[in-house]
Copies of this chain bind each other. A is one copy, B any other.
Amino acid sequence: MNAPVRRGRPALVDPAALIRCALDLFVEHGYAATRLEDVAHAAGVSKGTLYLYFDSKQALFAAVVREGLVPALAEGEALVAGWTGSGPDLMRQLLAGWWQLIGETPLGGLPKLMIAEARNFPDIAELYHREVMQRGCALVARAIDYGHARGEFSSPGDARTVDAVMAPLLLYVLMKHSFGPIADACCGASEADDIRFRIEFSIQALLP
């Protein structure tokens, strides 16, 4: 059971740190253009060490996706399950929470990465689709149904409504991680204002 009785040199490397570095670089440069040597260097280890923790570059990519968003989903599910206020306020909380927990963190780069690479890695795409997208959609659908049942929203939480509700925020985070450096030069409003605006825009579309 216990008494691991460590022998040999103790491990210095934190695998989670390797995954974080890989996420950052994959998001910034894309999968193919990210060299494992850069990931290793960013994490302060050698290229060979990566192979002690991941079988291949693709396995590292899979780990980035697997360890990324699933934990954050649980938090949102708890929020919706325990809600007792109004439907629009639930949506505000849910979408603002998504932004805080995912959108504005490094995890916000995952949607861009997955959209770019889904067709090259069907297995990983299927994992993301099942464990992240479908669970996330079910979560938002429950929130919309909550408001619909109270007569505050005109549509029930079907798949297309969920998709359209999330679209403004999702597109924002995609743009932030792709054209962000370019667009920053021109448009000037603050990020927080942009997010609030898009949340209210989506809620407006749900009202009767």
- A contacts, CB < 8 Å to B: 28-33, 112, 114-120, 122, 125-126, 129, 133, 159-161, 163-164, 166-168, 170-172, 174-175, 177-179, 181-183, 187, 189, 194, 197-198, 201-202, 204-205
> Is A118's CB under 8 angstroms from B168's CB?
no
Cα distance A89–B172 in the bound complex, in angstroms = 26
Complex: how many Å from CA A120 to CA B26? 12
A-B residue pairs in contact (CB < 8 Å), sample of 20: A29-B120, A30-B120, A115-B174, A119-B178, A129-B183, A133-B179, A160-B189, A160-B198, A160-B201, A161-B201, A163-B168, A163-B172, A163-B198, A164-B168, A164-B201, A166-B171, A167-B167, A171-B171, A174-B174, A202-B205
A117 surroundings in chain B (CB, below 8 A): 30
Chain A at the B interface: mostly helix, strand, loop or mixed?
Answer: helix
Residues of B contacting A182 in the complex (Cβ-Cβ under 8 angstroms): 118, 122, 125-126, 129
A204 CA / B167 CA spacing, docked (Å): 15
User: Which residue in B28, B170, B187 is a CB contact (below 8 Å) of A167?
Assistant: B170
